[in-house]
Amino acid sequence: MIPDPILLVDDEDDLRHNLKEALTADGYQVEDASDAVVALELIKSHHFPVVVTDLNMPGGPSGFQLIEAVKALDPLTLCVVITGYASMEVAILAVKSGAYDFLQKPFRLEEFEAVLDRALDHAAALEKVRGYQADLEQRVLARMRDLHALHDEVLRLNDLLVAAQREVAEAPIVGPFLDHLRAGRNPTRCLALMPTLRNTWELLEEDGLQPWTARTPEPLPPPSALVAPLEWRARKDVAEGHLVPLRSGELILGAVYLEFKERHYFQADEPSFVLWRRQLEAALQGLRRSRDLAGALRTGAQAPDPCS
């Protein structure tokens, strides 16, 4: 069974009915119209990949006019012309009107079906091209939306980085970055681990309505375990936990822990998360340099190289 319906337009009732019956018996789906007016009404409500039309239909629009109207309504529809008044001029006029192929009456059914099959194959190819173009347009639009979203993300993170330059402690710097991460990722738990001078770790997280605070958590992995990203499950009911280091070169600045009760799409190498992490690392490194510079000024020692 050929799935695509064709439209047969001819004012000769016997020819139209006999041709429709023969084509239907051979597996084609066929609708018919006795004139161009009826045909156009059908085309307005349904897509026909191929329209077969006689050229000379007295009492209404001609086959030429029908072809032009069809191409205006549905450019992907192919028109096959049949006529008993074949000449080179008629063939040229039909092609200029937008006809796909031309067949002279009388014709054998095999000849007609060969022309019809070529037209249907061509129409199917046009549909594939249209589908590909639509898919490509959607991909381009999606990519443009992603680029706009990334641009907005860069601006928001830059604002956080600029604001961090006014702070003199880790908590006021890390807090807004974690808030930003929570809003975008919606984790079950989101916290930061900051190394101390005693080679231990302090936990920075949101504690009810309290401001950002530092407190000693349960036993955590040693600093050496933070050299590379790893999965760390803090509790048995956690489906997914990610502990990601914050670094400046080989220097460990801290770590961020994300926890999800269900399996999540999060990946530490996602461009948006990498951007977030690098901005936070830049803010913490800036704080470290400020402290080193202040210490050098107090002791009278040589100030550290700000590029180191």
Query: Pairing mode, if any, of strands 189-195 and 101-104?
Result: unpaired
Rounded (5°) CA angle 56-61-65: 85
pLDDT < 70 regions, the chain:
1-3, 85-88, 197-199, 206-238, 300-308
Whether residues 101 and 183 fall in one domain: no
- C-alpha 30/C-alpha 270 separation (Å) is 53
* The two three-digit tokens of residue 283, written as one number: 């803010």
223 domain-assigned:
yes
Instruction: Verify that 289 and 191 share a domain, yes or no.
Output: yes
Instruction: Give residue 23's pLDDT.
Output: 92
pLDDT in tens, 236-254: 666 777 888 899 888 888 8
- Show the 3-state SS of 109-137: HHHHHHHHHHHHHHHHHHHHHHHHHHHHH
**Token pair recorded at residue 9:** 């337009």
Q: What integer pLDDT is reported at residue 211 of this predicted model?
A: 46
List residues bridging with 102 in a β-sheet. Answer: 81
What total number of domains does the chain contain? 2
The reply to whether 174 and 127 lie within a common domain is: no
Contacts of residue 246, defined as CB under 8 A and 6 or more positions apart, other chains included, come to 192, 252, 253, 254, 255, 256, 277, 280, 281, 284
Task: Quote the domain boundaries for residue 214.
Answer: 165-299
* pTM given for the model: 0.56
177-200 residue pLDDT tens: 999 998 988 888 888 888 876 667
Other C-beta atoms within 10 Å of 48: how many? 24
Indicate if 183 and 125 belong to the same structural domain.
Answer: no
Give the CATH number, domain containing residue 66: 3.40.50.2300
Look at residue 138 and tell me if it is in a domain: no
Note whether 163 and 287 are within 8 A (CB).
no
The CATH number of whichever domain residue 250 belongs to comes to: 3.30.450.40
Structure tokens at 92: 């040229």
* Residue 228 within a domain: yes
Q: Kindly state whether residue 141 falls inside one of the protein's structural domains.
A: no
The answer to whether position 305 is within a domain reads no
Residue 128's identity, in one-letter code, is K
Would you say residue 221 lies in a domain? yes
Rounded to the nearest 5 percent, the helix, strand and coil shares of the chain are 50, 20, 30
Q: Is 166 helix (H, G, I), strand (E, B) or coil?
A: coil
